[in-house]
Every structure is written in C-alpha cells, then in structure tokens.
Amino acid sequence: MSSSRPAHSSSSSSRTRQSSRARILAQTTLDAELNAEYEESGDSFDYSKLVEAQRSTPPEQQGRSGKVIAYLQHIQRGKLIQPFGCLLALDEKSFRVIAFSENAPEMLTTVSHAVPNVDDPPKLGIGTNVRSLFTDPGATALQKALGFADVSLLNPILVQCKTSGKPFYAIVHRATGCLVVDFEPVKPTEFPATAAGALQSYKLAAKAISKIQSLPGGSMEALCNTVVKEVFDLTGYDRVMAYKFHEDEHGEVFAEITKPGIEPYIGLHYPATDIPQAARFLFMKNKVRMICDCRARSVKIIEDEALSIDISLCGSTLRAPHSCHLKYMENMNSIASLVMAVVVNENEEDDEPEPEQPPQQQKKKRLWGLIVCHHESPRYVPFPLRYACEFLAQVFAVHVNKEFELEKQIREKNILRMQTMLSDMLFKESSPLSIVSGSPNIMDLVKCDGAALLYGDKVWRLQTAPTESQIRDIAFWLSEVHGDSTGLSTDSLQDAGYPGAASLGDMICGMAVAKITSKDILFWFRSHTAAEIKWGGAKHDPSDKDDNRRMHPRLSFKAFLEVVKTKSLPWSDYEMDAIHSLQLILRGTLNDASKPAQASGLDNQIGDLKLDGLAELQAVTSEMVRLMETATVPILAVDGNGLVNGWNQKVAELSGLRVDEAIGRHILTLVEDSSVSLVQRMLYLALQGREEKEVRFELKTHGSKRDDGPVILVVNACASRDLHDHVVGVCFVAQDMTVHKLVMDKFTRVEGDYKP
C-alpha cells in the first residue's frame, strides 16, 4: 500500500505503527473480498482479478465489516481437521468430552484382538470421561496437564488406547473454556522407544544449530541459505524455501534448495494476498504448520449443542487448511507442506511502547517470514521432529535479529560518515551546490535513482530525475497541497495525488523531499519496484504464456509486477531521519552564511573565525550526539576516570537504569562481579589507545528489569580523543545478546530432558 506523509510531522515509531496498522487493516479486507469471490465462483474463479484488486485503492471498511468478520470466523473456527489424526475438546472442570472429530471413535476406541480382557469397550461421545479411553500413566498425565499454565511445555504426552493398545502423541493446547487435544498415531517402530527417537531429532537439530552458529555473520543471504539446506537435510522434503516478508507485506523467496528436476522459485516476489493476514496471525500463535495431503478429505468436528460458540482451532496441529490454499498447493504440484514461522523482535523504530501498554507487553514481535517445505507426494513428519524444527526456527530467528543489529550498526555508521562529509563540504562553501555537484553528493546519503536541487530559482539534476519543467511543476504542487509541511515522502506520486505523475513514466515513482526554505528544495527520486526485481530463471521469462485464471506462483509473480508498476521501494524511517538531519544542517549553514560579515579589523576577523569554527564543531557534535542517543544499539561512554558520561536510550531500556541515574557512576559498579576484571582490562587498554573488539560482559539490571537477570552485551571499545589527539575517555558500542542466550539455554534444557 502506498502512502504519502509529511516527512517530519511525527516520530519515526509513530509513523511506522500507523502505516503498518492501516496496511494490515486494508489487506485483511482485501483478503476477505478475494476469499468471498473464490467461495462464490468455485472453479470459475478468475485469479487475474488479484491484479485489478491490488492496483486499485484499498477498499473502505464501511459496509464490509460483516464480510471480514465472517472470513476471520471461518479461518479460525472452521470445524474441520486433517485426517492424519483425531481431536477431542475437553471441559477443564469435568475432564469430559465437549467436542470430537468424526474419526475419533474409530481411532481411539476400536477393539483389537491383540488386547485381551476388553469385555466392555468404552464409548466415545459428548460427555465421555477421557480417562476411560486410555491406560495409565497416559490418562493421568493428560489430567495433570490441566494444572499447568502453559500446557504446550508438556507436549507431546504419550498415551495408549485401552481397547487397541495403540500409542498416540497427545498434543495439548488451551482454547476458550476448554482443553483441545490433538491425537497423532505413533508408528510401532517408535514405541515404546519414543524418547530415544525424540533425542535423535534433537541431535539432528543440534547439528543444524551448530552450523548456523558457526557462520561468521554479516550476510543474511548466507544465513538463509544455510538454514534451508539444514531443514532440507533434516526433513527430507522436495523443496525448502526461506520466504521473507517486506515492509509493504509482499513476500519474496529469499533462499531455496530443491531436489533435481523441480522448477525453482528463488527470487520470485508475491502479492501480500498470497499469504493472508489471518494466516500470518495464526503463524504467530502456532509456529509450525503441517499439511500432510492437500487432496485428503477433511474430517468434521461434532460439538456439544450446549456450546455458545464454536471451538477455536487456532492452536490445533490438525486444523484443516482453507480450500483456496489447497487449490493453490495442488496447482503447483505441492501435495504436502511443512511451514515454520520466523518470529523476530519488532523493528527498533517501533520499540517505543505506547502509553496504554503495560511494561510486560512493550517488547513486540513480528513475523519476519517463513521456512516453507513442499513435497510432491503425501508426507507426515512426527511431532518430535516438528518440535525440533521449531527450535531450529527459533535459533534462526535469533540470528536474523543479530543480522538486523549488525546491518543497523553498519548503516548508522555509514550515514553518520556521509553526513559528516556532506556537512564538511557545506561548512567550507556555505552553499547547497557543493553537496549536489561534488563527490560525494546527496545521492550517497540514501538509496535512490536520481536527485535534484531547486535553489535560487535554478534547477540542478542528478541521474534519473524529472526534467527541469517537471521539477518546477512538482515544487508548485508541493506549495499548493503541502505548503505547511517541511517535507514529504511517498512510494507513489500517483497515489499521493500528484496530477502530473503519469507524465513522469514508471522510472519516476517514489519521491522524498526536504525543504530548505519555502522556495529552495532538495529532491530524491526512485524508480518503480519492478525495476529492482530479477526473474528467477528462464522459466520465469515475462514472455511465457500462462492461464491467467489459475492460482500458481508464476501468476502471483506476474500479478506482483503489475501491482508495483506505479510504486517504488518505500522510504524507511532511518532514511527520512537522515534526510531530516541534513535538512537541519543545511538550514543552519545557510542562515549563518546570510548573516552580514563583521570585518572591522584583524582581531574581529580572528574572533569571527573562532566562533564560526566553534559553531561548526557544535553543529556536527550535536548531530553525532543525537544519532548516538537515538541509536538502536546500546551505546555507553566513560571519561578517563571510568565515570559514565554517556548512556543512550537503548542501554537505559535494557538495564532499567535511567540516563540521569547512570551519569557520574563508575562503570565497574554497573557490571556484574564476574565481568569486573574484563571491563577493567578493556578500559585500561582503551585509555592507552588499544581498542578491543567483541568483548562479552554482563550489565546489571535495575528497577522493573531487576528480576530479568543481567543484560549480556558484546562490546567494541572506541577511544575518545580531544583536539590534540589525547585519549580522554572510552565509548562502548554494544550488541545485546541476552535473547540469544535465553533461546540456547531453553534448547539445552529440552535436549537434556530427552537424554536417557
């Protein structure tokens, strides 16, 4: 969804949250519309309508809320399961059955001649006490699950039917007012040595995790290629992909491995509707999803008529897939699938808590993407192996977070370096022409295809930019429509309402603007997104013909390319912040240059030079301090005596120690006792000019964070120097590794539980 916005009317986090909410709401409505169209038209459904729907303005909510609610209700409470297992819903107080799948009586109560002394086999129906169906200790273990707040930690519970002696994995989760239990048959070869089989799964996962951890870092591509290869080896599926969601919700096959002879999807991009928002919500709740056979007939759920609402199957491993998704799978010859959610920390720009949020809910998560496995024939993966895959996905997510942090550090460093260079050029010449005609120039500040400057009623153009007359027309439109704004950013001039957008062609779609004065303006331009996309192989050549009515990944890609013909890549918040900072420096420089010179003698001239030099230094210093304070990584600084004189918002958030409380305290009093000698050595060496890298130490927590345990940081030391190049302090730029350690500790504990 395209959005135009005043560049600096609100904080980065606020802009991102508002944009994301609006996008998700509009996308959910469109998902519901397409679903209704599919359900009503059946085999005559025309998938090419997706193109038209995506290119049009997102539908208004008025008059359509009923359709959206019905769609979400159907997705979550569809009353159908896959036939590879059966389901019971139990009343939490009485432990009696309040709902069951139609295949449950046959699977759980069929009498076997191999089991003697079953004279009066139990009957399964509404009101049956579930203890009557299973032998001890399985029945007791199921009942004990009621006492656990998070019953998922007990999964799987091994139970054995009284009548047949058959073993099942009981996979338990809570739904509103009841306990939902999925039963999956255990292969005879796995029973009773199930624990040993699970241990083998964890050993395989541990091997894959070790490979991921051994990567040097600094390459998201290498990380994704490694995880798809490990999942491919671990699960045996024909195709494994790392599927990444972009900021505008569309998806991309970022990494892939297949068995020989399968058509590759690497590099393909898909519209956001290919994975509906409702499905993404379910992935956040139930992080592993298996479809064993898309052609298998679904099994109905029979519920107690006294229930006021249908039982939610959001957390069920057996929940039947939607008919539209099944058709999509069949068309691409993917009969079975296994999907793992990759859930990461929300973008740092969004980490500011909203006022109404309690502290424990302030750390938000988001769905970065999916690890998707496809198979050309029916395939079942036992629960212990799926659970091991879930752990692998969690560890992968931790490393994705690490790559984000590393990318942000590099990005912020590059932006700061470029801002410093551009500022230096401005201070020397006091004219914006220096940062347009020189090298580097404004195009090096943010990713763009062209730029322009309107200054003193003259126009300077760089690379792919509109003509001079078109730039003047855009400036006039800005003054008429956005006269009160200091800037603007949009990924679609057409969607932003610029009347001349069509005349610019698809090579000029997105634009960011910074006003220096009401008449002097800097412009950055971007081409359409499709220009950034590469076709993933000869079979994806645009000249290929395809059935436009048929749901298939190649058609989805064509639909995506149609959607983005009038859109550029969106302008990120950090890019707009960089533009805003340059805008402030420009305004300050030009204001200083416009002041009348005071040249009344040599002493006055020398005094002016000193003041100007101090003003320049102050401007650069202020900008660097602002960037450090708002950085997305922990940064702290100490003077030559080890007393804290810098403590940014990120380290304050992690430690629970406010900036005003930290300033003036000795650094050694703020670290754990086990880290004192490490920090002491690093501080000593840095004050000698020897800067250590990647030193790990633990920071104490305070206030509301005290019970969370220490913050684990990996730190680079940077010596601070005065004008005479003397070391006067140390700056520590850190990376938070706390979450990574928690995940690995959890993995180690669970692996230990399975050791014989």
Query: Any idea what the CATH number is for the domain that residue 649 is in?
Result: 3.30.450.20
Are residues 58 and 155 part of one domain? no
Are residues 441 and 383 part of one domain? no
- Answer yes or no: is pLDDT of 483 > 90: no
- Confidence tier at 61 by pLDDT (50, 70, 90): very low
Are residues 657 and 521 part of one domain? no
Give the strands of the sheet with 521-526, arranged side by side: 4-6, 487-490, 510-515, 521-526, 450-455, 458-463
Are residues 683 and 548 part of one domain? no
Three-class SS state of 494: coil
Q: Work out how many domains the chain is built from and give that number.
A: 4
- At residue 184, the pLDDT reads 93
Which residue is listed with tokens 């896959």? 82
- At residue 723, the pLDDT reads 67
Are residues 174 and 44 part of one domain? no
Residue 700 lies in a domain: yes
- Give CA–CA dist 593/186, Å, rounded: 80
Check residues 502 and 740 and name the one with the higher pLDDT.
Answer: 502
Helix axes 383-429, 738-753, angle to 10 degrees: 170
526 neighbors 448 (Cβ within 8 angstroms): yes
Alpha helices in 595-737 (DSSP H): 602-629, 649-655, 659-662, 676-687
- Answer yes or no: is pLDDT of 341 > 60: yes
Q: Which residues are within 8 A (CB) of 437 and not within 5 positions of it... i.e. 6 or more apart?
A: 460
Helix axes 194-213, 383-429, angle to 10 degrees: 20
When pLDDT is averaged across residues 353-363 and rounded to a whole number, the result is 44
Q: 366-413, pLDDT tens digit by residue?
A: 899 999 999 999 999 888 888 888 889 999 999 998 888 888 888 888
Looking up residue 102, the CATH number of its domain turns out to be 3.30.450.40
523: containing domain: 409-594
Looking up residue 578, the CATH number of its domain turns out to be 3.30.450.270
Written as six digits, the tokens of 22 are: 């609006």
When pLDDT is averaged across residues 617-623 and rounded to a whole number, the result is 50
Are residues 379 and 239 part of one domain? yes
Which among 40, 72, 104 is the end of a domain? 72
Q: Which residues are within 8 A (CB) of 126 and not within 5 positions of it... i.e. 6 or more apart?
A: 97, 98, 99, 100, 302, 304
Residue 756 lies in a domain: no
Question: Mean of the per-residue pLDDT values for the chain?
Answer: 76
Give the DSSP letter of residue 96. B
Which among 28, 54, 72 is the end of a domain? 72
Neighbours of 231 (CB within 10 A): 26
- At residue 322, the pLDDT reads 78
Least confident among 454-458, 661-665, 739-743 = 739-743
- Answer yes or no: is pLDDT of 9 > 50: no
Are residues 420 and 546 part of one domain? yes
Are residues 362 and 216 part of one domain? yes
- Confidence tier at 512 by pLDDT (50, 70, 90): very high
- Confidence tier at 361 by pLDDT (50, 70, 90): very low
Residue 626 lies in a domain: no
Least confident among 115-124, 205-214, 369-378, 635-644 = 115-124
Closest C-alpha to 397, from 256, 223, 235, 236: 223
Q: 183-207, pLDDT tens digit by residue?
A: 999 876 654 444 444 555 567 688 8
Predicted structure pTM score:
0.67
Checking phi first, is residue 616 left (phi over 0); if not, alpha (psi -120 to 50) or beta?
alpha
Check residues 516 and 66 and name the one with the higher pLDDT.
Answer: 516
Check residues 342 and 571 and name the one with the higher pLDDT.
Answer: 342
Q: 425-479, pLDDT tens digit by residue?
A: 877 777 788 888 888 888 988 889 999 999 888 999 999 899 999 999 999 998 8
Please list the residues that pair with 370 across neighbouring strands.
243, 341
Sign, Cα dihedral of 222, 224, 225, 226:
positive
- At residue 549, the pLDDT reads 46
- At residue 258, the pLDDT reads 94
Least confident among 270-274, 417-421, 706-710 = 270-274
Residue 604 lies in a domain: no
- Answer yes or no: is pLDDT of 108 > 60: yes
Neighbours of 158 (CB within 10 A): 17
Residue 14 lies in a domain: yes
Which among 48, 72, 96 is the end of a domain? 72
Are residues 708 and 579 part of one domain? no
Q: 249-308, pLDDT tens digit by residue?
A: 888 899 999 999 888 888 888 777 778 777 888 888 888 999 999 889 999 999 888 888
- At residue 193, the pLDDT reads 44
Note the residue count of the chain.
756
- Confidence tier at 577 by pLDDT (50, 70, 90): confident
Residue 750 lies in a domain: no
Helix or strand run (H / E) with residue 424: helix 383-429
- Give CA–CA dist 567/189, Å, rounded: 56
Are residues 489 and 418 part of one domain? yes
When pLDDT is averaged across residues 739-753 and rounded to a whole number, the result is 52
Residue 624 lies in a domain: no
Q: 99-113, 437-451, 718-732: which has the highest mean pLDDT? A: 437-451
- Answer yes or no: is pLDDT of 310 > 60: yes
- Confidence tier at 340 by pLDDT (50, 70, 90): very high
- At residue 691, the pLDDT reads 84
Are residues 214 and 106 part of one domain? yes
When pLDDT is averaged across residues 696-711 and rounded to a whole number, the result is 88
Residue 512 lies in a domain: yes
Are residues 374 and 346 part of one domain? yes
